[in-house]
């Protein structure tokens, strides 16, 4: 017999990353606009780049496995203790630690669908079961249906606010009511990968909820607003026993010294990050207003991206039009298209494609 992968692995849904420019496309006359992965279009924050250069000079050494400096810096920023913070290689790495740390084979993880593509992969890889609850008509989490989906086997609930790919946040009061209704033995993860882009008050005050409900776990990343996607670092805030468990399930040395130092420097440069985020938010509003004027029906997005619900016919047509224009967007079969909001010039190109496709449709 030949070596065989576990059944759970052969059956895994695949993570399809946002399309990247091929070398031919990069060399082409048309500039490629990379709007498929919700990255920051800004160059690295100068302080982060300097920290990376400094850390790189010591790359013959292993990083601090306990990431003490970074955990203390995050804790100080949020008003928690370092014992409540666990870091990992991207928030997706932390999420894997959460799921493998809490779920035995056959346990259930409830999440909205459509949401972040990695959720079902991490759940099924752990031998647990994905329980997908359809989004409501306004593209947001249907918290009543999610509460109803909880069973004896539910160990974790994943909430994504603002939701990727739809951009819709979960309102604070609704989330609090949900937490009151869910039994305290279920870990409720609030994935806030895009929280920096959300307008104040549009989503939950997750830290207040965390203080009131010890089964809440906040998940955040340096990949989006802080612009460190290529370095891979994210973190969870959770009750000390959970956070300790997450640190113990971590792959040793998974977060590099470069990533740890860049993340610390980025937190120190939060004002610069905020100014960049404000520019993206202005652009998001400008694009949404223009698209609405053209007759596109969009839900207001609180992320650094716009979501266009589209049947397969429209999606195929739009993907072709974006491709033709050298713009890479993320297409989701059966559901729609997600477009990252970036610099004004790229955003104008997106608007032009969408304006033209409205003209074609008439």
Nearer to ligand PMP, 38 or 347 (CB): 38
User: Which string of b and e fits 48-59 if b means at least 16 CB within 10 Å?
Assistant: beebbeebeeee
What separation in angstroms does the CA of 46 have from each of 42, 52, 69, 91, 228? 11, 10, 20, 23, 12
Distance between CA 343 and CA 341 in Å, rounded?
Answer: 7
Nearer to ligand PMP, 38 or 97 (CB): 38
Please state the closest distance from residue 165 (CB atom) to ligand PMP, in A.
8
Please state the closest distance from residue 18 (CB atom) to ligand PMP, in A.
9
Please state the closest distance from residue 360 (CB atom) to ligand PMP, in A.
31
Nearer to ligand PMP, 253 or 311 (CB): 253
* Rounded (5°) CA angle 259-197-246: 45
Nearer to ligand PMP, 128 or 233 (CB): 233
Please state the closest distance from residue 191 (CB atom) to ligand PMP, in A.
5
Nearer to ligand PMP, 38 or 260 (CB): 38
Residue ranges that bind ligand PMP, judged by CB under 6 A: 38, 90-92, 116, 160, 164, 191, 193, 221, 223, 229, 234
Distance between CA 38 and CA 178 in Å, rounded?
Answer: 28
Q: Give the bridge partners for 86, in sequence order.
A: 236
The enclosing H or E element of 111 equals strand 108-113
* Cα dihedral 121/122/128/131 (nearest 10): -60
Please state the closest distance from residue 245 (CB atom) to ligand PMP, in A.
20
């Amino acid at each position: 017999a030949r070596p065989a992968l576990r059944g759970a692995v052969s059956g895994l849904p695949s993570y399809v990353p946002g399309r990247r420019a091929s070398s031919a496309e990069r060399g082409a006359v048309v500039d490629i606009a990379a709007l498929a992965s919700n990255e920051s279009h800004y160059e690295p924050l100068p302080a982060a780049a300097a920290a990376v250069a400094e850390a790189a000079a010591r790359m013959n050494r292993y990083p601090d496995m306990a990431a003490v400096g970074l955990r203390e810096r995050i804790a100080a920023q949020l008003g928690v203790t370092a014992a409540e913070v666990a870091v990992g290689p991207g928030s997706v790495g932390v999420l894997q630690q959460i799921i493998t740390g809490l779920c035995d084979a056959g346990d259930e993880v409830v999440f909205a669908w459509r949401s972040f593509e990695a959720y079902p992969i991490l759940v099924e890889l752990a031998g647990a079961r994905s329980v997908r609850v359809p989004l409501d008509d306004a593209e947001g989490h249907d918290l009543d249906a999610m509460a109803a989906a909880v069973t004896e086997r539910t160990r974790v609930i994943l909430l994504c606010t603002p939701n990727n790919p739809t951009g819709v946040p979960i309102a604070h009061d609704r989330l609090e009511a949900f937490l009151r209704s869910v039994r305290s033995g279920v870990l409720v993860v609030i994935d806030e990968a895009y929280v920096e882009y959300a307008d104040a008050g549009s989503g939950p005050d997750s830290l207040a909820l965390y203080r009131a409900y010890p089964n809440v776990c906040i998940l955040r990343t340096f990949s989006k607003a802080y612009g460190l996607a290529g370095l891979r670092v994210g973190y969870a805030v959770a009750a000390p026993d959970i956070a300790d468990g997450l640190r113990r399930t971590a792959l040793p040395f998974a977060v590099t010294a470069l990533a740890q130092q860049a993340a610390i420097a980025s937190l120190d440069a939060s004002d610069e990050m905020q100014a960049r985020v404000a520019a993206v938010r202005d652009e998001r509003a400008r694009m949404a207003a223009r698209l609405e004027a053209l007759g596109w029906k969009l839900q207001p997005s609180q992320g650094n991206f716009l979501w266009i619900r589209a049947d397969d016919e429209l999606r195929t047509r739009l993907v072709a039009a974006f491709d033709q224009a050298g713009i890479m967007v993320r297409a989701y079969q059966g559901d729609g298209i997600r477009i990252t909001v970036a610099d004004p010039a790229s955003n104008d190109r997106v608007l032009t494609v969408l304006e033209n496709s409205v003209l074609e449709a008439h």
